[in-house]
Chains A and B, each alone.
Chain A
Amino acid sequence: MTISAERESEVAYPDPTPPHAGGIQGWTSRPGWLSQHLGTAIVGAVAGYLIGHWLGNVIASGYNYVANSGVNAIANTGGLLLGALGWLIGIGALNYPLAKMVGMEPAPEQETTSWTRYFRYTADHKVVGLQYVIGVLLFLFTGGLLAMAIRTELLSPTSHVFGPGTYISIVSEHGTMMMMMATSAVVGPLGNWLVPIMIGARRTAFPRIEAFSFWIFSAGYLVILTALPYGGFPTGWTGYAPLQTQASGGMMSYLVGFALIGSGMMAAGFNLAVTIVNYRAPGMTWSRVPIFVWSILATCALLTLATPTLVAAGLFGILDHTAQTAFYVNEHGGSSYLWENLFWFFGHPEVYIMALPGFGIVGEILPVFTRKPLFAYKVAAAGMVGVALLSFFVWQHHLFQSGINPDMRPLFMLTTELISIPTGFIFLVGMGTLYKAKIRFEVPMLFALALFFNFLIGGVTGVFLSDVPVNVTVHGGFFVLSHFHYTIMGGLIFALFGGLYFWLPKMTGKTMNKKLGQIHFWMMFIFFNLTFFPMFIIGLLGQPRRVFEYQQNLQALNDFSSVSAFILGSSFLVFIANFAWSIFIKPTPAPPNPWNSLGLEWQTASPVPYYNFERIPVVLTDPYRYGEEGAPPVADLGEELVGAGAGPRAGTSTGETSATSAE
């Protein structure tokens, strides 16, 4: 057979060296609390913050950007930046480059199965993926608590739970945290964990960059949290400029936090894009790449190309506050439009960073539970690439009423309407796959179907928003708020939870409780819609976003929405209970392929070995050949060569334990 002929070239496959994070010689190999882990990272962050803050005060003592505010922006920025640096040094992210710099040979990482590896800087993409799962969920639930606070305040149009300053800080913090979380919500956990296995690779292209992306992402989480003790920031997640320039305190946390998160996004996107392009197993041609990998590739293109704009824009903002430049200060020759355009030039591709991975997830879930091949695979892949390209040409639809050149408006109306064509392909794919299927309503499938319901409403209302005349009424109101919650939460977050219920059995080796999963789904689905659908009407009736007072006659709708939001929020408690119960308290081992999927990621052993595959698989076909007599298996795993039991890692290459690095 030709398979064995392809196996001949296996040794030449460029990946025999184990990835390692590169500890200091004789240090990380030492077990226990003396090595580097989350604890030392926290110590490093605190030390770095104190040093940076002190240094800032030394450099510019008594400097108040905002008169009499008592806030020294230079000390703030210095504290946050050095705190993030201390966090990275503490976790050991800089060991490898520093050791190389002084000519030392970094120690290879120990192959360990200890639970402590989840608290360390590790080059194993599966560990990083699970670290991201916890990180993203923590991020999501923190932002969710703030949403509960917002809905509590909006219970009454006139009597207040929070003062206006506290309220606007909560709103801004909620929006910023959710947007930061959503950038990495799928790419981080599922992208890092799944992509190498789906394409038959043993690791990602740059394992240390992959670990770096997580630890700087978590540093961003801590930095944006510091906005609250600094007194918050009043700008919302958009950070529009004269208000940004006017604000102090928490504003620096926003700017530095977005810069850190942006660095993490670029790192994660770059690493996964290179992995997908270069690390596909033999036979994994572009027409066999799973649709989830396509969606991650399109997302990675956006992450690497759009995010630098955000980081640069944030840097300008930091300079305005600390070095008294005037990038965004109108009266000194800058322009507030500069921020608006830079921000949305990043911000609109960002919206698709949050949509595409969700499409990829449902594209993987649907064939498994319909027992049918994915319909119109090539259209789906083309659609994702098309969305990624077009998303760079629509950003000014956020500025329709802002006083941009008026002839830009028909142009951006057109491009915005056009992007709904490739976005709509996901419906063609979904509906074609459902046709004459045999649908099993497992929990992941429920979430996947819910995405179609939610995203339809989110997508159609997006067409309303793109129409400039209608935009006059709906821009800046609850209508647009509801629209993007329908796309981001109804799309991405539903897909994320579908993906977690779908892949967690493989990722953790434990079965999630089905009953609790169903309760979680129905609570989340029903009360998500009951929370956000009334907001379309609230918006049409004239309630602007981010207000703490509204018209008396809108109280009934707002209260309805608030109560639904509380139940929606509590649905996540069901998930947390399920997660804790099924993974930690009473774990039930999951079979290697519980859903009977044909995907490559399900064919390897469970728990997935350190190198993912005993032998590099040779991919024979795409993973969607359901309902087909005599279809070949997705890949030749080469198990007959190493023995069916897949014992110790044998064979592949022997010289790999030398400490030299592959990169």
Chain B
Amino acid sequence: MTDTAPTPSAHQPAGPPSAEPRHFWRMFAIWIVLSAILDPLFYFLVGPHVPPGTMTSSAAENQLDFNILFVIALPVILAVWVYLGYSIIMWRASRKDAPEPVGGEAARTNLRVQTAWITVTSVIVLFLAGFGTYELIQNYGAGGGQGPNPIWKPTASHILPVQVIGQQWKFTYRYPTYGGFETQQLILPADTTIAFHVTSLDVIHSFWAYQLSIKADANPQVDNVAYTTTRQLGRFTVRCSELCGLWHGAMYNFGQVVPKAQFDSWARQTELTTAANTRLLPPFAWTYVPDANGAGGGYYNNTVDPYSPSEVYGARQPAS
């Protein structure tokens, strides 16, 4: 490959022709064997288990992207390691009959080697940038937050919007298409394109639905949109991945992807059971203005017992 190969080969003609072992070909052989073994081993054995799995479209694509990067990166790492190991063994001063190094112009610069190096690294890097951009666009933002004005929107006819509200120190979710009720359970239908609208009531949080491969910062007064399409049923973890203060480490919960019909009945039922509380919430909006006069944002009314049986809290309008 690629990175190391040209260095020794180009030196080869300069060295003494006969007794000198063919360093480049030796290294090349070691490298190609190692790469040919380890790359497929990784891709076929480890690759399918690489996080974040295949639960959603973005997860599957991001897993593929990771694996492709790894398959390219591994030979690069191996090339440097093989070269370093070979030099340390072959060219150590403690070796008997170690020849004196030859200085001079040939050892200082080598236009062929330098050109080859720059060309190869540029090609790899530009390919990776191009590939990453392609994956990002054709995958509708790859599950990352696109900000309030997303430009890569899914073409699905039916997109379920879910609002994620980060607050110190929990996530709550509102379903605008079901009357804007608010819950601490993130339940999603399978085989559906979801638009997460992530916002915050106080400081910056980051909504990280690990298995869904969704990550979007929750900024106060910003509607940060991320898309994915659910594929498999099951539970997933939601964690906050942006330091948000005291209980940042405890800011996580679990969500679930359920069949469409089950989701629909859950949503309709929750809409009914929480209707009384939804009326007390601020009307559904893409962002909410925190209460600037209190440190905690003031979204929830602290006088309501948070452990009331219905598990939904009373709330008051933002003050400002």
Contacts and interface: CB of A to CB of B under 8 A. Distances in A.
Interface of A: 66-67, 164-165, 167-168, 234-236, 238, 240-243, 246-247, 329-332, 336-337, 370-379, 400-407, 409-410, 413-414, 417-418, 420-421, 424-425, 427-428, 431-432, 434-441, 449, 452-453, 456-457, 460, 463-464, 466-473, 475-477, 540-542, 544-551, 624-628, 631
Contacts of A432: 7, 110, 113
B87 A437 contact: yes
Nearest to A424: B121
Nearest to A625: B103
A187 B173 CA distance: 49
B241 interface: yes
A424 B144 CA distance: 28
B101 A164 contact: no
Contacts of B139: 469
A600 B237 CA distance: 59
A404 B99 CA distance: 58
Contact of B204 (A243, A370, A417, A440): A243
Contacts of B11: 435-436
A246 B91 contact: no
Given A168-B245, A404-B147, A627-B100, 20 more contacts: A246-B245, A331-B290, A376-B108, A376-B110, A403-B198, A413-B129, A417-B132, A420-B121, A436-B101, A460-B73, A468-B135, A468-B142, A471-B144, A542-B237, A546-B248, A548-B249, A549-B249, A550-B249, A627-B103, A627-B107
Query: Which of A241, A376, A457: most chain B CB closer than 10 A?
Result: A376
Interface in B252-282: none
Contacts of A472: 58, 62, 142-144, 213-215
A240 B62 contact: no
A336 B114 contact: no
18 contacts: A67-B294, A164-B246, A168-B246, A246-B245, A376-B110, A406-B149, A406-B151, A410-B137, A414-B133, A427-B3, A432-B110, A439-B88, A456-B81, A464-B69, A473-B66, A476-B215, A546-B248, A627-B107
A402 B145 contact: yes
Contacts of A376: 108-110, 113-114
A242 B151 contact: no
Given A246-B203, A406-B147, A436-B102, A453 B215 contact: no
A521 B124 CA distance: 34
Interface in B40-91: 50-52, 58, 61-62, 65-66, 69-70, 73, 76-77, 80-81, 83-84, 87-88, 91
Contact of A469 (B65, B117, B122, B200): B65
Query: Which of B107, B113, B122, B198: most chain A CB closer than 10 A?
Result: B107
Nearest to B66: A470
A628 B289 CA distance: 72
Size category, B interface: 35 or more
B19 interface: no
A546 B213 CA distance: 20
Given A417-B125, A436-B102, A456 B77 contact: yes
Nearest to A453: B84
Contact of A403 (B23, B66, B147, B248): B147
Nearest to A549: B249
Nearest to A326: B292
Given A168-B245, A469-B61, A435 B8 contact: yes
Contact of A627 (B104, B113, B239): B104
Contacts of B248: 168, 546-547
B93 interface: yes
Interface stretch (B29-37, B178-186, B219-227): B219-227
A402 B70 CA distance: 25
A413 B142 CA distance: 14
